[in-house]
Amino acid sequence: MKLVIFGLGYSPNLGDGVIADCMAHAARDLVPGLQVVAVDLSGRGGFGAVTMANRGRALKILSAMPRPLRHMLVRAKLGRMLDTATPRWQEACQGAGAALIGGGQLLSDADLNFPLKIARAAKVAREAGVPVAIHAAGVSRNWSRPGRALFAELFSTDLRAVGLRDAPSIAAWTEQTAGHPPAPGLARDPGLLAAECYGPAPRREGWLGLCVTDPAILGYHADGAVAGAGPGFQAALVRALAERGRKVLLFCNGAEEDGRALAALAAPLADLVARGRVEIAPPPERPAQLAHLIGGLDGLVAHRLHACILGYAYGRPVVGLGWDRKVESFFASVGAARFCLSDPAVTAADAADRLIEALETGIAAPAHAHALTEARQAVAAAMAACGLIRPGGS
């Protein structure tokens, strides 16, 4: 039996790889011996593959262009990539029992990027006669008219289920698809199963983490104001935590632009690094490395959703910095809305104090256990909808 997962498993932003790994882990747990084939929607064949050099600069150039010109350029570039990748995708779907499309904010239309990729995946699945389920995806309210037409290719497949990761995504999907069946339901993010997937993390007791993200990338993808994006905020936050007697590990999720932002923090924090109060972790190269890095900390602050989810999965107190409603939605869903700071005027001292409060509060065990159970059940529901397992069973 074979399951195909269309996602971003080899993305340099390793949070996407966490999703793919955890989805595959949960599926294999349900069906021992299941063959799981990961298909990267950006055409990557493994970690380290580069699909866009100087991505940050390219996005700045695109954002300055009129939308029709952006769409024309993206169609041309992605069309070539998708034509090259399609034979591999067709091979992956041959003999498959089902295909899951999802994890991450895939149903978003940033200059037709994901609409083009998902439309091609839908075409391949349809031609292979493979049942399809959308699983744990996020939906943005930004679909252009061409984007809607491309996403509608999903409805030409044998689409069995639509599982979305939060209530705002369900509302956005329903509005932008005019309520086209099947009706969407909630599906918890598979990343919540990271501690089960990757195993125990080596502990770094006494250390807090700051996940460093390039503010320019946040601004390009944000659906609202970005909290903690001002000049010097990250360095000021580290100093605020150091003043409170804490040691801080700086890290990133692996994306190239985040790695540059991480390296740039070394100079303004050189005195704390020299005193052993701050360390800068090399950018991780695999999802498991990111998971173990985060899971070993006492707590962390992050913009990146999957840094927050990994922390929560390992039972570590987390403070999220808002820039996209998906971050707010996650914290609200686990009863921790107070620990998501979305006000763009938030100060470094505010964020430091809130992390100390999160450490003192801890994570509610019943809510944590319930969230993980729901994540497992969501994978089972998607596989049952596609006929790989019996409803409610294995």
Distance CA 375, CA 364 (A): 17
Q: Is 349 exposed, middle or buried (0-12, 13-18, 19+ CB in 10 A)?
A: middle
Please name the residue that has the structure tokens 């090259």: 84
Q: What is the pLDDT of residue 110?
A: 85
* Residues 162 and 136 sit within 8 Å (Cβ to Cβ): no
- Tell me the CATH architecture of domain 199-363: 3-Layer(aba) Sandwich (3.40)
**β-strands 247-251, 278-280 pairing:** parallel
Q: What is the pLDDT of residue 286?
A: 97
Whether the predicted pLDDT of 167 surpasses 70: yes
Closest CA to 74 of 11, 40, 116, 13: 116
Parts of the chain belonging to CATH 3.40.50.2000: 199-363
Q: What is the pLDDT of residue 103?
A: 86
Closest CA to 11 of 113, 125, 124, 154: 113
Distance CA 125, CA 137 (A): 18
Q: What is the pLDDT of residue 94?
A: 97
Q: pTM of the entire structure?
A: 0.92
Residue 66 CB coordination number (10 Å): 8
Whether the predicted pLDDT of 235 surpasses 60: yes
Whether the predicted pLDDT of 71 surpasses 80: no
Q: What DSSP line would sit under 292-350, residue for residue?
A: HHHHTSSEEEESSHHHHHHHHHTT--EEEE-SSHHHHHHHHHTT-GGGEE--TT--HHH
> How confident is the prediction for the chain on average, in pLDDT?
93
Distance CA 215, CA 229 (A): 6
Give residue-wise pLDDT tens across range 241-266.
999 999 999 999 998 889 999 999 99
HSE value, Cβ hemisphere, 13 Å, CA-based, for 15: 24
Which whole number is the average pLDDT over 64-75?
78
Which whole number is the average pLDDT over 290-307?
97
Whether the predicted pLDDT of 65 surpasses 80: no
Whether the predicted pLDDT of 331 surpasses 70: yes
Which whole number is the average pLDDT over 168-195?
97
Q: What is the pLDDT of residue 297?
A: 98
Task: Evaluate the omega torsion of the peptide bond into residue 182 and state whether it is cis, within 30 degrees of 0.
Answer: yes
Q: What is the pLDDT of residue 319?
A: 98
Q: What is the pLDDT of residue 60?
A: 65
Give residue-wise pLDDT tens across range 94-143.
999 999 999 899 999 988 999 999 999 999 999 999 999 999 999 999 99
Q: What DSSP line would sit under 174-219, residue for residue?
A: HHHTTTPSSPEEE---GGGGHHHHH-PPPP-TTEEEEE---HHHHH
Q: Is 271 exposed, middle or buried (0-12, 13-18, 19+ CB in 10 A)?
A: exposed
Distance CA 40, CA 86 (A): 11
DSSP-assigned beta bridge partners for residue 346: none
Write the class of the CATH domain 2-193+371-385.
alpha beta
Whether the predicted pLDDT of 186 surpasses 70: yes
pLDDT confidence tier of residue 231, bands split at 50, 70 and 90 = confident
Q: What is the pLDDT of residue 56?
A: 59
The two three-digit tokens of residue 360, written as one number? 């003192």
